Structure 1
């Protein structure tokens, strides 16, 4: 890469995180209760934030093509879910299905780096967390949603556990730093969805939109960061 080509790439490397942060902040302000910005702005900035994370992920992972394909597919499914959940009631089930598909993509992607369950204790850890959250919410979940919610929670916990299995199974290897990003992303995703579920089924949380989205987009950014940087 020439010096003249490196400068725009370097500027983009700084600008994209800043644009993503700004877009996320505007979306959170528009979705807060009471809204601090016109709520219609959420229809622009919520999907835009995920699109910016997709742009961040797209040139990465050239040395991990199978992982890159699955993680990009997961981000695209997440984008569909983001749009669906702009309508919290009518869009809840389509959003749930979209994010379920995203987690399946992430699981398959992480399995390209380490066999499913290669390290077992993360599955026990996230299984206990999932059981605790479901136990707390079960009586408040409508009967028609109980089965889809259980399937989603199992898939979410599996995604986070497999990200940790990749990390702990790669300690001392060249891909350990990338796997660590995936593990943090999976953990933040569990945190974000747990708060979303508690807010929806067990009663409103103070500043729910802030806490849910302030952990959701960093989760997606961390997962995207588990793809290696593009080389010159």
Structure 2
């Protein structure tokens, strides 16, 4: 098999794998649609709402596990499971907000470790990703500075002031390491996740009023998790294809 035939073969294989991946993602799309169909403000605090809200992240974790294997439990699949736990907790924000924030912080830590792994190629000779690092950290620090007075007014301010600061540091680190991967899907997923969390934070701590804020938060949240999950699957798929191409 010459190079042209090998290239054509793996292009067809990638198309077939993309179709198969889409089929595996159908339950996630249905679960996401179900959430927006059944969600109402009155559903906050119900077990059914917690299950429906957590289902999309659980289904994405299952997809990553199927495609990337059990080792992804210490990576993106594990981060999605932590996110599902965070979704569950935030259905009871008055009682379990800090628990939910801790679950999402663990998810960002797992994502960060994954983006540092050798599965994600990074061109160390390129300087352009480094330009974004100070921008992201400056943005994160500025947002914390903006949010700080509102955190001090919160009932659990002694926990929230340092906790939110640590959380912002972790999600900013996750976004920076996503940029390092040079994977467009992964970078978009991490940045959209940051937008989702900023939108949620300003509402939770009453720093701003956003029309249809909950819809904005959840649309960007589910989109970010989808992009991160697909980016992880595609990264493994690309590495496998490259290894096979070299052996051909």
Shorter-chain TM-score range: 0.7 to 0.9
The answer to whether structure 1 residue 183 and structure 2 residue 198 are counterparts is no
1:140 alignment partner, one of 115, 139, 150: 150
The answer to whether structure 1 residue 225 and structure 2 residue 247 are counterparts is no
- Deviation per CA, 1:49-69: give whole Å up to 9, x if none: 11111122122236xx86674
Q: Cα 1:203–1:13, aligned 2, differ >3 Å: closer, same or farther?
A: same
The answer to whether structure 1 residue 48 and structure 2 residue 55 are counterparts is yes
Q: Could you tell me how far 1:125 is from its partner in structure 2? A: 1.7
Q: Could you tell me how far 1:10 is from its partner in structure 2? A: 8.8
TM-score by length of 2: 0.73
TM-score by length of 1: 0.78
Q: Equivalent residue for 2:131? A: 121
Q: Cα 1:96–1:223, aligned 2, differ >3 Å: closer, same or farther?
A: same
Q: Could you tell me how far 1:11 is from its partner in structure 2? A: 8.1
- Deviation per CA, 1:118-173: give whole Å up to 9, x if none: 64222212112212322322111133211000000010011011101111xxxxxx
The answer to whether structure 1 residue 212 and structure 2 residue 212 are counterparts is no
- Are the aligned partners of 2:61 and 2:76 in contact in 1 as well (CA < 8 Å)? no
- Are the aligned partners of 2:45 and 2:92 in contact in 1 as well (CA < 8 Å)? no
SS in structure 1 at match of 2:233: coil
1:108 alignment partner, one of 113, 117, 123: 113
Moved over 6 A (4+): 9-12
1:157 alignment partner, one of 156, 165, 172: 172
Structure 1: which 5+ residue stretches go unaligned?
Answer: 1-8, 168-178
- Are the aligned partners of 2:46 and 2:91 in contact in 1 as well (CA < 8 Å)? no
Cα separation, 2, equivalents of 1:157 and 1:32: 31
What value does the CA root-mean-square deviation take over the aligned residues? 3.0
Q: Could you tell me how far 1:47 is from its partner in structure 2? A: 1.2
Cα separation, 1, equivalents of 2:148 and 2:36: 28
Cα separation, 2, equivalents of 1:150 and 1:31: 30
1:194 alignment partner, one of 184, 191, 198: 198
Cα separation, 2, equivalents of 1:95 and 1:38: 14
- Are the aligned partners of 1:67 and 1:110 in contact in 2 as well (CA < 8 Å)? no
Higher helix share: 2
Cα separation, 1, equivalents of 2:106 and 2:145: 24
- Between Structure 1 and Structure 2, how many residues are aligned? 209
Q: Which has the higher contact order (CA 8 A, sep 6+)?
A: 1
Cα separation, 2, equivalents of 1:60 and 1:195: 32
- Are the aligned partners of 1:66 and 1:109 in contact in 2 as well (CA < 8 Å)? no
- Deviation per CA, 1:57-109: give whole Å up to 9, x if none: 122236xx866741111111111111111101111000011011111111111
- Are the aligned partners of 2:72 and 2:78 in contact in 1 as well (CA < 8 Å)? no
Q: Equivalent residue for 1:58? A: 65
